[in-house]
Copies of this chain bind each other. A is one copy, B any other.
Amino acid sequence: MKILMINPNTSTEMTDRMIATAQSVLAPDTELIAHTATRGFPYIASRAEAMIAGNITLEMLAEHHHGCDAAVIAAFGDPSLIAARELFEIPITAMAEAAILTSCMLGERFAMLTFSRTLVAWYEDAVALAGLTHRCAAIRVPDVSFKSVSTVQYELENEIVALAERTVKEDGADVLILAGAPLAGLAQRIAHRSPVPLVDPLVAAVSQAQTLARMKPKAASAGRFARPGPKVTVGLPQSLADWIEHRGPDRQSDLTLNASM
């Protein structure tokens, strides 16, 4: 099966690391196809940035999803996840949601460990979106700064291990999510130093994308996630406009566009 991985950040280095991290859970018959954003932010770190990058995510999906069996939005915080599920017909997973739901099979309360205070409001929203705030024991951040998101998982490795210990003890977490794309791969490296299972969100998102792809769920023709009919757009990027206006690859359409609803 083909899994499309969309990195809505502009850092290709991050994409490379995520591809590497995903290998451990790829089934033999899985092909992973990755794309990196060319507009936006090197690293999304707020809800305003996620709104902007979410738009870019939709454009990237419109362009690249054809022929894929499932897609992964490879940013924790899940920019455009709901919008993408509305628009597209293949299963779509994202890092925060996949990590949260997977954690729920490994413990009763999960906690998130991340590397910057700035991210917490955004990650809180992701927990709320899943409707699982009551199972989230805490979202915690080490009290130290770091130099770069590229190296943060090495810089803070010991602090995160120490924080894991405290979070289990003080907050009653049964499982820990290492939250944020820059931490992809860390879980595997420090699992043996943690008192509870660690969940790598990229691993969870790619795993769950494979799970859904293998189940071959029928695209909804009703409910909240049925694809909307063809609709007029003004000034949108070509591939996104084509998809929303239900134009095929030949950019022609016999359909009557709906100007309002």
**Which chain A residues have a beta carbon within 8 Å of chain B's beta carbons?**
10, 24-25, 27-29, 38-43, 45-52, 54-55, 58, 80, 82-84, 86-87, 91, 93, 97-98, 101-102, 104-109, 116, 118, 121, 125, 130-132, 134-135, 148-150, 168-169, 172-175, 191-192, 194-200, 203-204, 207-208, 210-212, 214-215, 217-226, 228, 231-236, 240, 244, 259-261
A42 to B149, CA, bound (A): 40
Cβ-defined partner of A107 (8 Å) among B135, B207, B220:
B220
> Known: A86-B48, A191-B218, A225-B174. Contact between A38 and B261, CB under 8 A?
no
In the complex, what residues of B have CB within 8 A of residue A220's CB?
107, 174-175, 195-197
In the complex, what residues of B have CB within 8 A of residue A116's CB?
261
> Known: A87-B48, A194-B218, A225-B107. Contact between A232 and B173, CB under 8 A?
no
In the complex, what residues of B have CB within 8 A of residue A231's CB?
41, 45, 49
In the complex, what residues of B have CB within 8 A of residue A118's CB?
228, 261
Query: Would you mind naming 29 contact pairs between A and B with Cβ atoms under 8 Å apart?
Result: A25-B211, A27-B27, A39-B234, A41-B231, A42-B232, A43-B260, A45-B228, A45-B261, A48-B86, A48-B87, A52-B55, A52-B240, A91-B106, A101-B104, A107-B223, A107-B225, A108-B121, A108-B225, A148-B260, A149-B261, A174-B220, A174-B223, A175-B223, A195-B220, A195-B223, A196-B220, A196-B222, A207-B211, A207-B214
Cβ-defined partner of A80 (8 Å) among B51, B109, B195, B212:
B51
